[in-house]
Amino acid sequence: MTVTDHFERCAQVMRDQGMSDMAVAQFGHLYDVWANGSEATWIREADVEPLHDVPSFHDIYETIDHDQAVHAFAKTAFIKLNGGLGTSMGLSCAKSLLPVRRHKARQMRFIDIILGQVVTARERLGVPLPLTLMNSFRTSADTLKVLESNMRFRQDDIPVEILQHQEPKIDIETGEPVVWPACPDLAWCPPGHGDLYSTLWESGLLDMLWNKGMRYLFISNSDNLGARPSRTLAQYFENTGAPFMAEVAVRTEADRKGGHVVRDRKTGRLMLREMSQVHPDDRQDAQNIRRHPYFNTNSIWIRIDALRDLLERHHGVLPLPVIVNNKTVDPTDASSKKVVQLETAMGAAISLFDEAICVQVDRMRFLPVKTTNDLFIMRSDRFHLTDAFEMEDGNYIFPNVELDPRFYKNIDDFNERFPYNVPSLAAANSVRIEGDWTFGQNVAFYGNAVLQDQGRPSYVPNGEFVGPQGIEPDEWMF
């Protein structure tokens, strides 16, 4: 059978599942790139220029008339990417339904905080700020229940949801859609957050927003609570006249293996270069954080008219770079059938716009939760959740946290070992927990705190201090 035959099998199962022509067309782009091997095209160091001297949020803040900025903010719509299940933490529901911390005796989930940010902005600034979630087929029902039950959040004129497409996982041996009778849902996956653009086009949301007077989109991940709506950035974006603006942050050594923003020498356009696109000979330069100082936070601003024109030229399917993920059909079973999942990244669209720009933001606007290590910090006393639903910290420079993945990777295991709350991190430089430890109330870490594996389940009693030597002894020897 030919590549075309294999794709047609995929297309047919998509149609049988009720997928639209747009979903099939987008998957066709991904499949064609993968089948022809062109996804491994390198972005060579000699072909790009490092990006420097990006304007910072602090500098911009001083130049903005914040009373006037409300007018730009009133023309901004808020879109949250909410398709992820949080499977890396053992979740089987939308990650946005995971409790983050308590506020006034209430457990607050990601989605509760997001809704709080929107309602607060609406009430305090008198702006419409429509919110639309891009859900996946796995996150839609549970998320909509939360929206319906929130007494303060109401939105009738703009859809609160657009539904991300789904596509078949590909059997790596045959190139055909995988079949998994034990759990048919596992044969399907979302096509990455780059699918947002086709979903926006197909849903008609861009025209609806335009007709309601919206001119700008602010788009970010639902697990990044730092990416809250900003009238300062809305006004700055309007002032620049740019079609696309990416929020970037300064790379640290911990970020050196991640994607970064560069400029194409040939076209002059900005590009998002992932490490999978870096040639082995260029890896040292690409990981040099002084040479390439900025990474993409996946928070972007787009002019609705510019995006609509671009999508129209490409019939709703943008030519984004394809990300090939080699996995198993059951992500919890490494022995299950090997498959390929094809995805695109939302931020990669920066290379499709002339005059796209970046703005440097602090870590206060980049607070992602990808693992229980991140959640550990978010639930700690390093943060305070304000009445405006902002996650505040003194300096946003956090201790490095390493929790033994055998006992803390999955959220149920994590919660079991911190039955009261996570220990205090106020005096901690770093935290490393090795082995199976459960924690009592009012435990505090300080310095470079370490707990060694005892080879058995162990317990840190109430009120103890944990430092470089483990649990601080009751009596000191002088």
Q: Are 367 and 226 in contact (CB under 8 A)?
A: yes
What is the pLDDT at residue 476? 53
Instruction: Name the amino acid, one letter, at 15.
Output: R
Domains of the chain: 3-365 (3.90.550.10), 372-472 (2.160.10.10)
Residue 295, burial from CB neighbour count under 10 angstroms (0-12, 13-18, 19+): buried
For residues 349 and 198, what is the distance between their CA atoms, to the nearest angstrom? Answer: 12
Q: Is 83 annotated as a binding residue?
A: no
Q: Note down pLDDT in tens along the chain; length 478 residues.
A: 677 888 999 999 999 999 999 999 999 999 998 888 754 568 899 999 999 999 999 999 999 998 889 999 999 999 999 988 777 788 878 899 999 988 887 889 999 999 999 999 999 999 999 999 999 888 999 999 999 999 999 999 999 999 999 999 999 999 999 999 988 989 998 888 999 999 999 999 999 999 999 999 999 999 999 999 999 999 999 999 999 999 999 998 878 877 899 999 999 999 999 887 888 999 999 999 999 999 999 999 999 999 999 999 999 999 998 888 889 998 778 889 999 999 998 999 999 999 999 999 998 999 999 999 999 999 999 999 999 999 998 888 899 999 999 999 999 999 999 999 999 999 999 999 999 999 999 999 999 999 999 999 999 999 999 999 999 986 654 4
Q: Is 409 annotated as a binding residue?
A: no
Q: Is 95 annotated as a binding residue?
A: yes
What is the pLDDT at residue 39? 45
What is the pLDDT at residue 263? 95
What is the pLDDT at residue 416? 97
Q: Are 230 and 186 in contact (CB under 8 A)?
A: no
Q: Is 12 annotated as a binding residue?
A: no
